[in-house]
């Protein structure tokens, strides 16, 4: 049997602790004397309590923090998504109203164009007005000559009668 002796270096506790390993690694089964020595050594040495909170607490804390941060990030993303989607919907409504106004303006412009085309069809051009003016002057000249001829004819009849 081998024994390990550890001496603590604290001044208040100058005792030695003995840990014995009752069984060596072998392929044979335990004998009853080994069983009794092992159980006696196990009872003699108090079990050391392992610290539970160290590593497992860190892992649990990390997982809890990561979950909380993920949930907060997800909620932030949902909030931003709702805000941006509402802004997009508002801009779509504004765009729709603007497009209705543009359609109304286009209808008004088309009606004005059709009225203008009707007026252009009925309106005389400058050349047509100049031609009409020349024709009117010719007619006035003809009427003036006929008037003078009639006046001369009436004067001759008046002279022939008198």
Compute how many other C-beta atoms are within 10 angstroms of the C-beta atom of residue 46. 8
pTM of this prediction?
0.40
Q: pLDDT, tens digit, for every residue of 71-125?
A: 999 999 999 999 999 999 999 999 999 999 999 999 999 999 999 998 888 888 8
Q: Can you tell me the distance from the alpha carbon of 72 to that of 79, in angstroms, rounded to the nearest whole number?
A: 10
Average pLDDT for the chain? 80
**Predicted confidence band of residue 31 (pLDDT cuts 50, 70, 90):** low
21 and 38 Cβ atoms separated by less than 8 Å:
no
Q: How many CB atoms lie within 10 A of CB 23?
A: 14
Q: What percent of the chain has pLDDT over 70?
A: 67
């Amino acid at each position: 049997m081998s024994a390990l002796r550890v001496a603590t270096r604290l001044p208040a506790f100058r005792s030695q602790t003995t840990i014995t390993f009752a069984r060596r690694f072998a392929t044979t089964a335990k004998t009853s004397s080994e069983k009794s020595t092992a159980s006696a050594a196990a009872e003699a040495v108090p079990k050391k309590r392992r610290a539970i909170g160290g590593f497992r607490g860190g892992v649990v804390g990390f997982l809890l923090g990561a979950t909380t941060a993920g949930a907060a990030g997800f909620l932030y993303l949902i909030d931003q998504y709702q805000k941006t989607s509402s802004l997009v919907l508002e801009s779509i409504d504004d765009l729709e109203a603007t497009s209705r106004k543009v359609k109304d303006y286009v209808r008004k412009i088309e009606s004005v164009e059709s009225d203008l085309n009707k007026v252009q069809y009925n309106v005389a051009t400058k050349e047509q007005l100049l031609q009409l003016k020349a024709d009117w002057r010719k007619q006035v000249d003809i009427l003036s000559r006929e008037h003078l001829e009639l006046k001369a004819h009436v004067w001759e009849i008046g002279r022939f009668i008198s």
